[in-house]
Amino acid sequence: MSVVALVPAAGRGVRLGLDRPKALVPVRGESLLLRAVRGLLGSGCVQHVVVAAPPDQVEVVAAELAALPHAHVVPGGAERTDSVRLALGAAGEVAPDAHVVLVHDAARCFTPASVIRDVVSAVEAGAPAVVPVLPVTDTIKEVDGSSTVVKTVDRAPLRAVQTPQGFNIDVLRQAYAAAGDIATDDAGLVERVGGKVHTVDGHPDALKITTAFDLAVAEAVLAAEESSAK
Ligand SMILES: Nc1ccn([C@@H]2O[C@H](COP(=O)(O)OP(=O)(O)OP(=O)(O)O)[C@@H](O)[C@H]2O)c(=O)n1
Ligand SMILES: C[C@](O)(CO)[C@H](O)COP(=O)(O)O
């Protein structure tokens, strides 16, 4: 029995606006993707990784990960959901004994190992689907089409969702088999087929690198960590 992680990394990074796919963008000399895959394998609870690469960059991505054992690369799709579906298909061949599957954004490459382990432990303890979450800290308002506030939403029960999201592999396969549409996250597909999704504590370090500001914050935090370690 093993744990396989699927890493959707086929996005273009339009909001980051650089000259290459976001997963291949370096932070202090190492790409987001290399950091994400190494973090999964280094957590001690993931045995196989399947990366969904931009279809025209499969060889570049494979070369990027060549030094890591147990990392496989497949072409991704047009939407994140398509990329995960393709990686999930390949997982059956790469890790036929997998009982737990994680789905982890390459763009959340600073996720602490403790979060990865907590998600895996919760699935192994019997949860069909598990997501790491953080409380919402801003005031949230609903607005209408003319940018006018309709109401202030009670934020107490709201949570911001991170990755890795963990699943019993049969549950995720069933959700993807039933899904006729895309979703912004994988647990959303499990919800649509009536599956129960559990939560564990997320971590601020598991932020998704989306904009140039996020990248600058990551650079600054790593630089500070490196200089305090000297
Ligand atoms: N067709 C796609 C789109 C996204 N992703 C991956 O899904 C994760 C979360 O997506 P996001 O952060 O939105 O990345 P991009 O789609 O690249 O960003 P943008 O929307 O700015 O282009 C990323 O690791 C991204 O590479 C993917 O594998 N396949
Ligand atoms: C999966 C995810 O990272 C959870 O927060 C997020 O939904 C991805 O969304 P995106 O719009 O594809 O960045």
Q: Residue 181 pLDDT > 90, yes or no?
A: no
Residue (of 181, 199, 13, 210) closest to 85 by Cα position: 181
Q: From ligand 2's centre to the CA of 229, what distance in Å?
A: 32
The pTM assigned to this predicted structure is 0.96
Domain ranges of the chain: 2-131+160-229
What mean pLDDT is predicted for residues 202-214?
96
Cα(79)–Cα(73) distance, integer angstroms: 17
- Mean pLDDT in the chain? 96
Cite the beta strand spans of 48-193 per DSSP E.
48-53, 71-75, 98-103, 129-135, 140-143, 149-153, 159-161, 165-168
Cα(11)–Cα(74) distance, integer angstroms: 13
Q: What atom in ligand 2 is closest to the CA of residue 208? A: 3
Percentage of the chain exceeding pLDDT 90: 92
- Residue ranges around ligand 1 (CB below 6 Å): 8-15, 22-23, 52, 76-80, 83, 105-107, 208, 210
Residue of minimum CA distance from atom 2 in ligand 2: 185
**ipTM summary value:** 0.96
Q: Which two tokens stand for residue 90?
A: 């390949």
pLDDT single digits (tens) 79-97: 999 999 999 999 999 999 9
**C-alpha pair distances (Å), 85 with each of 120, 151, 178, 196, 224:** 20, 37, 12, 20, 38
Cβ partners under 8 Å of residue 165, min gap 6? 102, 103, 104, 119, 129, 130, 131, 132, 185, 186, 187
Q: Residue 229 pLDDT > 90, yes or no?
A: no
Predicted local confidence at residue 210, as pLDDT: 96
Predicted local confidence at residue 65, as pLDDT: 97
Tally of helices (H runs) and strands (E runs) in the chain: 7, 12
Predicted local confidence at residue 59, as pLDDT: 97
Q: Which residue has the tokens 């490459």?
A: 109
Q: Residue 163 pLDDT > 90, yes or no?
A: yes
pLDDT single digits (tens) 21-74: 999 999 999 999 999 999 999 999 999 999 999 999 999 999 999 999 899 999
Residue of minimum CA distance from atom 10 in ligand 1: 11
Q: From ligand 1's centre to the CA of 119, what distance in Å?
A: 22
CA-CA-CA-CA torsion for 119, 182, 38, 75, nearest 10 degrees?
150
Please tell me whether residue 154 adopts helix, strand or coil conformation. Answer: coil
Q: Which two tokens stand for residue 106?
A: 């390459």
Fold assignment, 2-131+160-229: Spore Coat Polysaccharide Biosynthesis Protein SpsA; Chain A (3.90.550)
